[in-house]
Every structure is written in C-alpha cells, then in structure tokens.
Amino acid sequence: MSVVEDMSNVESQANVVQHVVVRFAGDSGDGMQLTGNNFTQATAIYGNDLSTYPDFPAEIRAPIGSTFGVSAFQICFGSEDVTTAGDQVDVLVAMNPAALITNLKDLVVGGLVIVDSDTFTDRNLTRAGYKSNPLEDGALDAYRLLAIDITKQVVEVVKPHGLSHKFAVRCKNMWTLGLTMWLFDRSRDAAIQGLRTKFAHLPEIAEANVEALNAGHTYGETAELPTGIEVYKVPPADVAPGLYRNTTGTEAMAYGLIAGGQLAELPIVFASYPITPASGLLHTLSTQKQFDVVTFQAEDEIAAVCTALGASFAGSLGVTSSSGPGISLKGEAISLACATELPLIVINTQRGGPSTGLPTKTEQSDLNQALFGRHADTSLPVISASTPSDCFDVAIEAVRIATKFRTPVLILSDGYIANASQPWRVPDFNDYESFPVKFEEEPTGFSPANRDPETLARVWAKPGTKGLEHRIGGIEKSFETGDISYDPDNHQKMTDVRKAKIDGIAKYIPQQDVVIGRGSGKLAVVGWGSTYGAIYQGVKRCREEGLDVSHIQVRHLWPLPSNLGDLLSKFDSILVPEMNTGQFVEVIRSRFLIDAQRINKVSGQPFKIKEIEEAIKAQLESLK
C-alpha cells in the first residue's frame, strides 16, 4: 500500500505511516527554505530519520509569481532509514500558482496539496501559465485539495503587531509551517525559539511570526477540514542510540577540515573565491576563527589556490574550494603542487555544467576533470563524499593523505550533498586517531629531495627552520639533489616516482567493502558520491523482492582500493549509476577490463529510487 493510500485510509490506526515526503514550494521571496529547515529541525527532534533536498532557483529575486522564481524544499522522513529526499511527493505545499504548476507533476495521485487560495488571482494565474483557475476547473481532482485563504488569515492574525501589509504577508510561511506541524504532530518549540533568536532585535516581527505559526497550528486543530485530513503519525525511527544533530554537507565538511587540521596538528589557511554551490564552505569556516583557521577571500580562484599552496609551503595546511568552473582555473597551480610535492586540499562542490550550466543544480560531471583535468602526468588522490555527514570523515581522510604523502588531494562533493541535510550521530572527536605532521628540522644530510623510503613522501621543511634553507619550484628537479635538472633520465625517474607515490597510497586506504548484499553474485551496483542514497534504497528494495544485487560505494576514486578489481570480478554484471554521461564507468572499464554497464542522468536532479530499481531489474533481466 502506498504511503498516500495509508494516509487517506481514515480507518487505519490513527493514521500511522512509515514515511512521508513533504515539499514546500513558493516564490523565492516566500521563505520556503526557512520553512523547510524549521520543519526539518522539528522532525529530527521528533526522532524520524530524514533526508532533505533544497532546490532553489539561480535568480536571487526573480519576478514575483514567475515559474522560474519558484524555490522548493523537500523532506522525506520516516520510521525506517531514509537516504533520499524521496521520489514522489505525498504532501505539496504550494504558496502560489507558479509553485503549483511547477511541482504538481511530482505529487502522487491522491496526494495532499495545500495552497494559499488568495494568491490564485487572474494575474498570478496568467503569469504561471494557467488558462483557468485549477482550484475551480477540476484540474486537481486526482488529489486531495486544501485551499485556504492563508494571506487573509495571516494579515488578520498579525494585525495587533502593527506590521505593514508587506511585512504581515511575509509571515505566511510561518502560518503554513504551523499548519504542517499540526498535520504531522511536530513540536513548535524549536521554531519559536529560533524565531525569537533570529529577530531578537525586532521583537515585533518575532512575535508576529510566532503568532502566525501558532495560528496555522490552531487552524489545523479547529477548522473543519475535509475528511481524511487529520493528524498523521510517523513513528520515530529505530536508529542507533547516541547524540544527534542535523548537518548539511557544507557544515560537516567545514568541521571535518577543522578536525583534520587538529589531527595533523597543523593550522589551516582556507583560501577561496565565491561560487555557487561552494561558497557556503567559505562562509562557514569564516565563523570559526577561534580554531586554527585563517580564511581568505581571494580575488579569483587562481589566487585562492596559490595562496593555499603558499601557506602549505610555509607549514600550514592550505585548503581551497570551488565548483567546476573555478577548479578549471586552479588547474595549473594544482600541477605545481604535484611538482613541488606539497600538501594541498582542493574541494570541488560540483554543479551542473558545462560553463555556468545549472549553478544551483547538482551533477557529478567533474570526475574526469578531477582525475585527468590538468596538464602533464599529475595523478593525485581523489576522494568523494556520499552523504552530508560523510563529508566530515572524507575531509579528515583528505587531510591525512595530503599530509602523509605531501600531495594535493581533491575532494568531490556536489550541490546536493552540500545543501541537503541529514541527521548525524555526532562523533566523539576524542575517538579519532591523530596523525601529527613531523617537519624536518635536522640540517645534517638535509636535501629538499629527501623522501620517506616507504611512502615516497618528499621531506617537508618549513621556512623559519634554521639550516634548512632551500628552493623549490616548478622546473624539474634532480631526484638526488633537488636542484634544477633537465636531464632526460632524471625526468623519467621523477615522473615515475611521482606516479609510484600516488599509486602506493592504495596500500594505505581501506579495502573496498560492500554496503548491502553479498560480496559476489549476479549484479553489483557501483556508486560514488551523492547517488549513494538512491542506490542504497533501490538495492534494498530489490533485495527485499529476493533479487541478487549488491551495493558497492566507492569513496577512494584515485587510487582505487587495491581489492576493487577482484571484488567486481566476482559479480556477473556491474551497473554504475552516475549523474553524468558515464565517467566512473569508463574508469572501471579501462582499469579492470570489465564490461560495466551504466545508467546516467544529467537533469540537475538526483536519481529517484525508482529509476535505480528499474535499472537493476532491466540489468538482471538482460542477464537471463
């Protein structure tokens, strides 16, 4: 039985459902992201597992009522593990006709749609592209409609606070939030507290919003609503005990970098240039000056990466971050970091491309750039984050590898991971093993060409250390002395050593494991990055139907885990879902000579679970 059938079944026990997908959609000025975040917080506190997907337009203030100005926030929450924001929407909150017309296609048949009927004016309807009013012409007959004059209600409620009409109307989102909280039995406490903090200096505004929130809730409690619309119970999920918080990928990445710096016992210099969806990391780290982090907004991406590299030369850990177009600009300096063998962290929060592409939408199309997108033979470690909270450990892992092997490390995240939020069982930082960097200090026998015989890492001697004055640079250096060398044999040797060092990292990373399913069998679905959630659920559902399929999620994209080839060879068939035209699948094919198959999607939207399920079934079918 679908969730919605569950929900509309009044007889069912107090409307208990296992999981629900709610989407708030409105004008970019309607405050849908804030509404979504508040609802998420309340849901997390309630104890459901959840996953969110904020989807906002590239335009900052698109014309009011326009379809391209619609901003949406989707949340899936439930009593079982939730790893995606959901394929289809059960409850759609549409604040105007444009939000309705652009989001209705994702609502399940029989789903609940809540609209502000006051916004369905002739003008707004025309602007959204409606020929007639969908609230009256039967266009919504397949759904359950709750049309409320929200604007009027709100203006009425906040009147005593003396707000102008403009400000009064802005409380609409809180009214709607209140109603939605009633619908799912969420507590308003955190939201109320949040509003009072946010508007601490504008108490009238704060109280008006609180009033609106409560009024929305009261409306749910007291108004005569159509049958079948009443409080739904989504019981708390059975999750591992511990302390939880919500985190976005951006936050977890920022905290992971700080953690990595502490574990390496290195100060961090974070240099970046704003670009969507990567800027959040710069913003977040800029608020953490109490830690050993200096943040620097450079004049461009080239300056940012060069500043980070200069910091690494001077004995800090240089970190830079951008999205695809900015990473292109950093290429030459990343190669310099490879040549000079200094640690450097480069984070790519991928977005839809090429060029400006879809700056606010997600994609995984910079893998080739990460692996191959520089001049010359400059292989470097590439690791990917699969979920928002995964960013914490991935950042630490990047710092560990960069400092241990004295190499730039590229982290691939994406717009979905960066902005989506997820409950995170907060780790105890004391449980992490430190990996303090040892700088060279001994002048006897010192040469900038010295290497650790085991890891092949070049010596790191920082300026300020007496007796170790030396020069490094982009010109090829002698393997023996570190002096400039144009010798042909030396260049061969240095190229080989640089490659061997990176290849050798495979010995120091975890073996590839299987997320769910067996370590051999008919089909392995191999994912990397943010496709994790959809693959996980897709594989899980197929396995529940008795299908022989496993989920393998690769974090270390270069070098690959040393057992990956063996592991993959134990499956009859390999399927690689990617939000690009097929990049990792080519790596697997060429690396392991395996006839891996692909499923690709580049619409700017994450995979749906259903799409993965269908691909799995088609693939298994083809094996018969």
Partner 1 sequence: MNAPEQKLTFKDFASDQEVRWCPGCGDYAILKTIQKLMPEFDTPKENTVFISGIGCSSRFPYYMNTYGFHTIHGRAPSVATGVKLANPDLDVWVVTGDGDGLSIGGNHMLHVLRRNVDLQLLLFNNETYGLTKGQYSPTSRVGTRSPSTPDGSLDMPLRPCTFAIGAGARFVARSIDTEAKHLAPVLRRAHEHVGASFVEIYQNCPVYNDGIFEYIKDKKTATETRLLLEHGKPLIFGQDNEKGIRLNAQELKLEVVHIDQDGVSEADLVVHDETNKVLAQMLAELKSPEFPEPIGVLYCNPASAYHADVYEQRDAIRLKKGPADLNALLRSGHNWTVN
- Is 329 one of the binding residues for partner 1 (CB under 8 A)? no
Q: Burial letters for 337-371: b for 16+ Cβ neighbours within 10 Å, e otherwise?
A: bbbbbbbbbbbbbbbbbeeebbbbbbbbbbbebbb
- Is 336 one of the binding residues for partner 1 (CB under 8 A)? yes
Cross-strand pairs, 321 = 272, 347
Q: What residues from 155 to 194 belong to the interface with partner 1 (CB under 8 A)?
A: 190
The smaller minimum CB distance to partner 1, of residues 32 and 344, is found at 344
> 7, 72, 100, 306: which one contacts partner 1 (CB under 8 A)?
306
Q: What residues from 210 to 269 belong to the interface with partner 1 (CB under 8 A)?
A: 239-246, 255, 258-259, 262, 267, 269
Question: How does strand 144-148 pair with strand 107-116?
Answer: parallel
Tell me the C-alpha distance between 314 and 471, whole Å.
12
Q: What residues from 263 to 302 belong to the interface with partner 1 (CB under 8 A)?
A: 267, 269, 271, 288-292, 294, 296, 298-300, 302
* Least distance from partner 1 to the Cβ atom of residue 238, Å: 9
**Single-letter amino acid, residue 251:** E
Which long-range contacts (C-beta less than 8 Å, at least 24 apart) are formed by 579-582? 579/362, 579/363, 579/364, 579/365, 579/414, 579/529, 579/530, 579/531, 579/606, 579/607, 580/363, 580/364, 580/365, 580/367, 581/365
Helix (H, G, I), strand (E, B) or coil at 287: coil
Task: List the x/- string, 45-64, binding to partner 1 by CB under 8 A.
Answer: x-x-----------------
Q: Which residues contact 361 (CB under 8 A, 6 or more apart)?
A: 55, 351, 352, 415, 604, 605
- Is 39 one of the binding residues for partner 1 (CB under 8 A)? no
Angle at 198 between CA 192 and CA 201, to 5 degrees: 115
Q: Which residues contact 537 (CB under 8 A, 6 or more apart)?
A: 83, 84, 609, 612
* Size of interface with partner 1, in residues (CB under 8 A): 70
* Least distance from partner 1 to the Cβ atom of residue 41, Å: 6
* Least distance from partner 1 to the Cβ atom of residue 79, Å: 13
- Is 122 one of the binding residues for partner 1 (CB under 8 A)? no
Q: Which stretch binds partner 1 (CB under 8 A): 58-66, 313-321, 410-418, 517-525?
A: 313-321
The smaller minimum CB distance to partner 1, of residues 41 and 378, is found at 41
Of 485, 478, 477, 442, the closest CA to residue 460 belongs to 442
The smaller minimum CB distance to partner 1, of residues 296 and 435, is found at 296
Of 261, 255, 309, the closest CA to residue 437 belongs to 261
The smaller minimum CB distance to partner 1, of residues 254 and 596, is found at 254
Task: List the x/- string, 439-478, binding to partner 1 by CB under 8 A.
Answer: -----------------------xxxxxxxxxxxxxx---
- Is 196 one of the binding residues for partner 1 (CB under 8 A)? no
- Is 347 one of the binding residues for partner 1 (CB under 8 A)? no
Tell me the C-alpha distance between 475 and 335, whole Å.
12
Q: What residues from 506 to 565 belong to the interface with partner 1 (CB under 8 A)?
A: none
Question: How does strand 556-558 pair with strand 382-384?
Answer: antiparallel
* Least distance from partner 1 to the Cβ atom of residue 254, Å: 10
Residue 51, CA distances (Å) to 72, 463, 482, 534 in order: 14, 46, 51, 11
- Is 202 one of the binding residues for partner 1 (CB under 8 A)? no
Task: List the x/- string, 398-437, binding to partner 1 by CB under 8 A.
Answer: ----------------------------xxxxx-------
> By the criterion CB under 8 A, which residues form the site for partner 1?
41, 44-45, 47, 190, 239-246, 255, 258-259, 262, 267, 269, 271, 288-292, 294, 296, 298-300, 302-304, 306-316, 318, 332-333, 336, 340, 426-430, 462-475, 483-484
